[in-house]
């Protein structure tokens, strides 16, 4: 295990972290070698202190690539956070991996060992990579049902569960909703079925949904889809993005609709709004998030529109915290001085900004042009 993860770590440093790496791992529980896949986020090498959510995929042999495709697209627009993805290949072994007792619905035979093997994989990844506290598991039909078994533990291994067209073990449609009402750990749960699912399977999923939808605990975040016109297999490509976008809905940047509906109508408290947005985001997802540059610009625009210039000072303090080496904080202080008529102070702050790192649309040349502009102001 240790040797494998060290080799993977070296491989990722050599390949830039965006590629799918395949290797084998020998499990003490299973007594055999198993193939796994790992993909680290594009920023992993540069952001040396950052931790990332983990998504573990059962049926990794066919779920891995559609998940990576979703994340690649969403990360381009910064709609989803970067995630460490680990997949377990279960070709020709998923039936025995997911074996459960017909009466209890609990892991049985090799299923018991595989249940523990998943914990081995998570522990190894946590030891060798910067995994945060938010961990998810996903599966499809048989493996989706198996993934739910971790909710029977008093302290579930995962925070998020993506259950696609689940083949539920005995009485799970009754037992898991009951468990969810007593778990103290915040849980994110995505459940989906499709028109092409077998009627018996779908009926149990619907029964599960009806019970889960009644849970009112604020720590339980539940999402359900019933896809029309989708087969048991094609539903996966719709369920994966729906699940991830649902789980990380609070992660989204300020959109045009959010700006128009929530920010534009107020006349003050813009920085407080931005701070509260990210406090809620971090609290909900249990992860640290740097305030986006685009969100700073959105709040700056609202401040300027409402002539709430004093708030630029608070925005500058926030910028210094999140982008300490950049010119953003000094630029905003300069802008505040300029808008309140203190041109000498504005020139000084623009000059200070020019000595810092460029960020987004802000450049050293732009800052020096503003210095000259302020010198000519009276």
Give me the CATH number covering residue 168. Answer: 3.40.50.1820
Say yes or no: 199 and 268 in one domain: no
User: What element of type H or E holds 193?
Assistant: strand 187-194
Q: Which residues contact 259 (CB under 8 A, 6 or more apart)?
A: 298, 302
Cα-based distances in Å from 89 to 22, 37, 176, 280, 334: 10, 8, 26, 36, 56
Q: What CATH number is given to the structural domain containing 267?
A: 1.25.40.10
User: What element of type H or E holds 52?
Assistant: strand 52-57
Per-residue pLDDT of the chain (378 residues; tens, 9 = 90+): 444 443 444 344 333 335 688 888 888 878 888 899 999 999 999 989 899 999 999 999 999 999 999 999 999 999 999 999 999 999 999 999 999 999 999 999 999 999 999 999 999 999 999 999 999 999 999 999 999 999 999 999 999 999 999 999 999 999 999 999 999 889 999 999 999 999 999 999 999 999 999 999 889 999 999 999 999 999 999 999 999 999 999 999 999 999 999 999 999 999 999 999 999 999 888 888 999 999 999 999 999 999 999 999 999 999 999 999 999 999 999 999 999 999 999 999 999 999 999 999 999 999 999 999 999 987
Q: What is the pTM of this model?
A: 0.87
300 by DSSP, 3-state: which?
helix
Q: Answer for the pair 173, 166: CB distance below 8 angstroms, yes or no.
A: no
The residue among 169, 164, 119 whose CA lies nearest residue 149 is: 169
Say yes or no: 215 and 90 in one domain: yes
Q: Answer for the pair 343, 324: CB distance below 8 angstroms, yes or no.
A: no
User: Which long-range contacts does 18-27 make (Cβ < 8 Å, 24+ apart)?
Assistant: 18/42, 20/64, 20/65, 20/68, 25/1, 25/121, 25/124, 26/1, 27/113, 27/117, 27/120
What pLDDT, on the 0 to 100 scale, is given for residue 218? 83
Full domain range(s) for residue 119: 2-251
**Strand 52-57 relative to strand 84-88: parallel, antiparallel, unpaired?**
parallel
Which of 251, 277, 296 terminates a domain? The answer is 251
Cα dihedral 210/214/218/219 (nearest 10): -40
Say yes or no: 23 and 133 in one domain: yes
Return the DSSP state at 250.
G
What pLDDT, on the 0 to 100 scale, is given for residue 13? 39
Say yes or no: 224 and 353 in one domain: no
Say yes or no: 237 and 326 in one domain: no
Say yes or no: 49 and 140 in one domain: yes
- Cα–Cα distance for residue pair 58/87, rounded to 1 Å: 6
Cα-based distances in Å from 206 to 105, 164, 227, 310, 341: 19, 12, 12, 54, 64
Say yes or no: 268 and 241 in one domain: no
Which of 195, 216, 251 terminates a domain? The answer is 251
Which of 207, 223, 251 terminates a domain? The answer is 251
Q: Which residues contact 334 (CB under 8 A, 6 or more apart)?
A: 345, 346, 347, 348, 349, 350, 352, 353, 367, 370
Q: Answer for the pair 240, 71: CB distance below 8 angstroms, yes or no.
A: no
Cα dihedral 286/287/293/296 (nearest 10): 30
What pLDDT, on the 0 to 100 scale, is given for residue 18? 52
Say yes or no: 161 and 99 in one domain: yes
What pLDDT, on the 0 to 100 scale, is given for residue 5? 45
- Cα–Cα distance for residue pair 312/304, rounded to 1 Å: 9
Say yes or no: 143 and 213 in one domain: yes
Say yes or no: 283 and 344 in one domain: yes
Say yes or no: 89 and 229 in one domain: yes
- Cα–Cα distance for residue pair 72/117, rounded to 1 Å: 28
Say yes or no: 9 and 153 in one domain: yes
- Cα–Cα distance for residue pair 323/361, rounded to 1 Å: 14
Number of domains forming the structure of the chain = 2
- Cα–Cα distance for residue pair 187/217, rounded to 1 Å: 10
Residue 226: φ, ψ to 5°: -125, 95
């Amino acid at each position: 295990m240790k040797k494998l993860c060290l080799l993977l770590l070296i491989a990722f440093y050599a390949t830039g972290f965006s590629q799918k790496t395949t290797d084998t791992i020998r499990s003490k529980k299973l007594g055999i070698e198993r193939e796994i896949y790992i993909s680290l986020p594009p920023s992993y090498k540069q952001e040396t202190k950052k931790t990332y959510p983990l998504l573990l995929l059962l049926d990794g042999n066919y779920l891995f690539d559609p998940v990576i495709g979703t994340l690649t697209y969403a990360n381009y627009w910064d709609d989803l956070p970067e995630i460490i993805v680990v997949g377990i290949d279960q070709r020709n072994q998923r039936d025995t991996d997911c074996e459960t007792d017909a009466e209890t619905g609990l892991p049985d035979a090799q299923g018991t060992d595989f249940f523990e093997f998943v914990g081995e994989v998570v522990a190894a990844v946590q030891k060798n990579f910067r995994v945060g506290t938010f961990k998810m598991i996903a599966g499809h039909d048989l493996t989706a049902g198996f993934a739910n078994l971790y909710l029977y533990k008093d302290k579930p291994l995962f925070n998020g569960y993506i259950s696609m067209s689940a083949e539920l073990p005995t009485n799970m449609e009754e037992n898991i909703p009951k468990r969810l009402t007593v778990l103290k750990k915040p849980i994110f749960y995505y459940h989906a079925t499709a028109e092409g699912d077998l009627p018996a399977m779908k009926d149990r999923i619907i029964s599960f949904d009806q019970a889960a939808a009644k849970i009112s605990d604020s720590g339980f975040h539940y999402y359900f889809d019933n896809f029309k016109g989708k087969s048991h297999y094609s539903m996966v490509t719709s369920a994966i993005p729906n699940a991830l976008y649902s789980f990380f809905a609070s992660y989204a940047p300020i959109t045009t609709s959010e700006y128009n509906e929530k920010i534009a109508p107020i006349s003050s408290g813009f920085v407080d709004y931005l701070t509260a947005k990210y406090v809620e985001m971090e609290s909900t997802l249990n992860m640290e998030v740097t305030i986006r540059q685009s969100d700073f610009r959105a709040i700056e625009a609202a401040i300027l529109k409402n002539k709430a210039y004093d708030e630029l000072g608070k925005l500058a303090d926030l910028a210094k915290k999140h982008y300490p080496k950049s010119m953003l904080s000094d630029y905003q202080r300069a802008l505040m001085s300029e808008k309140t008529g203190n041109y000498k102070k504005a020139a000084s702050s623009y000059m200070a900004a020019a000595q810092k790192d460029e960020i987004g649309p802000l450049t050293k040349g732009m800052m020096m042009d503003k210095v000259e502009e302020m010198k000519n102001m009276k």
